Amino acid sequence: MKHIQSLQDERAIWLFMSVIMGGLVVLAHSFFQNYLYMPPCEQCVYIRFSMSVMAIGGLIAAINPKKVILKLAGYIFGFYGAITGIMYCLRLNAVHIAVHAGNPFGVKGCSSFPTFPFNLPLDSWLPGLFKPTGDCGFDNPLVPDGVSLSSIQAWFVDLYANGWYLLPSLEFMNMAIACLIVYAIAIILLGVMFFSWIIRLKK
């Protein structure tokens, strides 16, 4: 417990959260969206938003983790991002299941006009990152006509032809579940850190 209490006073753990969450957003945008032509859906951009919130929270806390106000901001951003992220993942997974089961009535919560928390117009500010251009439940590559793919691109496009899976060849674990696990791990770690911090404050 003492190790956890001291760990959260160091920049490394907060920067780690920021790098992981920010890195996942960059990976989704740069590799899957731009390189493999896998357009994000509404729930996908919400997931990007929640990960970005966690990344920002990590950066704020990392300024000086020993300052209560900065650490508290890191926890607030972290918990908020993880909790909302879990909600988005569950919604996306429900749509994914409905779509692949051929149930059109189960496809809800997918629009081309996202409504971000606090009415932030992120799709206008950063359309490349936060504007949904795909359909929920369908995350396979959509290569535009006339585009010439490199051999590596073609290999990856073929690999993900049936959609995003952690193990594409086995269609094991879709993106919603993979992200859900990331959020679950994050919220457990944040919870342990926060609990240990409260214990120390009470001493």
Please give the structure tokens belonging to residue 170: 């086995």
Does position 4 have pLDDT exceeding 90, yes or no?
A: no
Say whether pTM exceeds 0.75: yes
Asked if 81 and 21 count as a contact pair (C-beta separation under 8 A), the reply is: yes
Task: Categorize the per-residue pLDDT at 98 as very low, low, confident or very high, splitting at 50, 70 and 90.
Answer: confident
Closest CA to 48 of 96, 109, 89, 98: 89
CA distances from 191 to 51, 77, 88, 98 (A): 17, 13, 20, 33
Across the strands, what pairs with 167? 172
Does position 170 have pLDDT exceeding 90, yes or no?
A: yes
Report CA torsion sign: 182, 185, 191, 192.
negative
> Region 10-22: what's the mean pLDDT?
97
Task: Categorize the per-residue pLDDT at 1 as very low, low, confident or very high, splitting at 50, 70 and 90.
Answer: low
Residue keyed to tokens 């944040």: 190
For residues 188 and 194, what is the distance between their CA atoms, to the nearest angstrom? 10
For residues 10 and 122, what is the distance between their CA atoms, to the nearest angstrom? 31
Closest CA to 55 of 84, 98, 24, 30: 24
Domain regions of the chain by residue span: 2-202
For residues 37 and 160, what is the distance between their CA atoms, to the nearest angstrom? 11
Q: What is the DSSP code (8-state) at residue 126?
A: S
**pLDDT of amino acid 29:** 98
CA distances from 131 to 71, 88, 128, 139 (A): 31, 16, 6, 15
In words, the CATH class of domain 2-202 is: mainly alpha
At 109-165, the pLDDT tens digits run 678 899 999 999 999 999 999 999 998 888 999 999 999 999 999 999 999 999 999
Task: Categorize the per-residue pLDDT at 61 as very low, low, confident or very high, splitting at 50, 70 and 90.
Answer: very high
For residues 97 and 62, what is the distance between their CA atoms, to the nearest angstrom? 39
Task: Categorize the per-residue pLDDT at 104 as very low, low, confident or very high, splitting at 50, 70 and 90.
Answer: low
